[in-house]
Amino acid sequence: MKKTRHKVRRQGKDLLFDIVLYSICAVMLLLVIYPLWFIVIASFSDPSAVAGGHVWILPVGFTLEGYDELFKQAEVWTGYKNTIIYTVLGTIFGLVVNIPAAYALSRKDLWGRKVLMGLFVFTMFFSGGMIPIFLTVQEMGFYNNFWVMIIPFSVSAYNIIVARTFFETSLPADLWDAAQIDGCGNLRYFFTIALPLSKAVISVIALWTAVGQWNGYFNALLYLRDAKLHPLQLIMRNILITNQVFASMGTGEAAMIAMRRANLVRYSMIIIATVPIMCVYPFIQKYFDQGVMIGAVKG
């Protein structure tokens, strides 16, 4: 009888704990999801309804004017094309540079391994500064060049550390010993054994690199003068600044029209810039979670 009461009391405590836990998770989920949902419905709502605080759950005064206004501008399509090219080529080049470097640094027989790793880590805390980097990029011939968005900043010390940790913890030394017995060298082992077993970390590094390339605009702002080479993020930044300037300079009805136009495109710009990269994430989410844990366990 006592055991039964204890069991019931225990189940009651577990139920209360579950209720509290799920309630906290529900609140946190709402805090994360609602801002995203608000941006979506605001992009389809009348700007006056959004400004007046009438938009909460569903669009009010459904309209596609914001998207029409953006897609009428030819530079938006040019930015989309440039960003897709920068993202694809930048991700491929980033993998080609960072993954082999990480594998080499994971090998204990690499001469000067600790010194090289220390140099990579040093760059995470210190840099030459904006002006020396700008002068270096200019001297190398990358200024106002298509490849400035792909080659000069492709090396990521953090990505190398994550991938190196994966190679050290997930590829046993016995595998390399067995490969050597079969006459397998370093290059063959890397391409035929290490890479096929490293799909998780490769997917994670690819996602991180692609997101960085897609969202990047600061390097384009510094190193690209030709508007035909600008990525989507920089073009949308310029559109937003232009609309805000027109709204602040106008008076009366002209100012109201300019302000309405600025509010129309603001949320539409966010959707246009984020939806493509968000559509990729669900397909490699499991690899992303695993990669985060790899970087968290060992550095």
For residues 198 and 163, give the distance between their C-alpha atoms in angstroms, rounded to a whole number: 9
The 10s digit of each residue's pLDDT in 86-105 is: 999 999 999 999 999 999 99
The dihedral region occupied by 226, where left means phi > 0, alpha psi between -120 and 50, and beta the remainder, is beta
Range with the poorest average pLDDT among 3-12, 160-169, 215-224, 243-252: 3-12
57: enclosing H helix or E strand: none
How big is the CA angle at 258 (ends 254 and 260), to the nearest 5 degrees? Answer: 115
Q: What share of the chain is helix, strand, coil (3-state, %, to 5)?
A: 80, 0, 20
The two tokens of residue 249 are: 């300079």
The 10s digit of each residue's pLDDT in 138-149 is: 999 999 999 999
* Four-point Cα dihedral 4, 5, 11, 17, nearest 10: -160
Average pLDDT of the residues of the chain: 83
Note the pLDDT of residue 152: 92
Contact call for residues 291 and 169 (beta carbons, < 8 A): no
Note the pLDDT of residue 284: 67
Ordered by start, the domain boundaries in the chain are 70-231+278-297
Residue 75: what residue type? E
Which phi and psi (to 5°) does residue 230 adopt? -70, 140
The 10s digit of each residue's pLDDT in 103-113 is: 999 988 888 88
Q: What is the CATH number of domain 70-231+278-297?
A: 1.10.3720.10
Is pLDDT at 297 greater than 50 in this prediction? no
For residues 80 and 272, give the distance between their C-alpha atoms in angstroms, rounded to a whole number: 9
Helix (H, G, I), strand (E, B) or coil at 171: coil
For residues 280 and 278, give the distance between their C-alpha atoms in angstroms, rounded to a whole number: 5
Is pLDDT at 282 greater than 80 in this prediction? no
Higher pLDDT residue, 224 or 74? 224
The 10s digit of each residue's pLDDT in 189-206 is: 999 889 988 888 898 899
Rg for the chain (alpha carbons), in Å? 26
222, 213, 230, 220: which is closest to 131 by C-alpha?
222
User: How far is C-alpha 103 from the geometric centre of its chain's CA atoms?
Assistant: 23
Residue that has been written with the tokens 């309209």 in this structure: 63
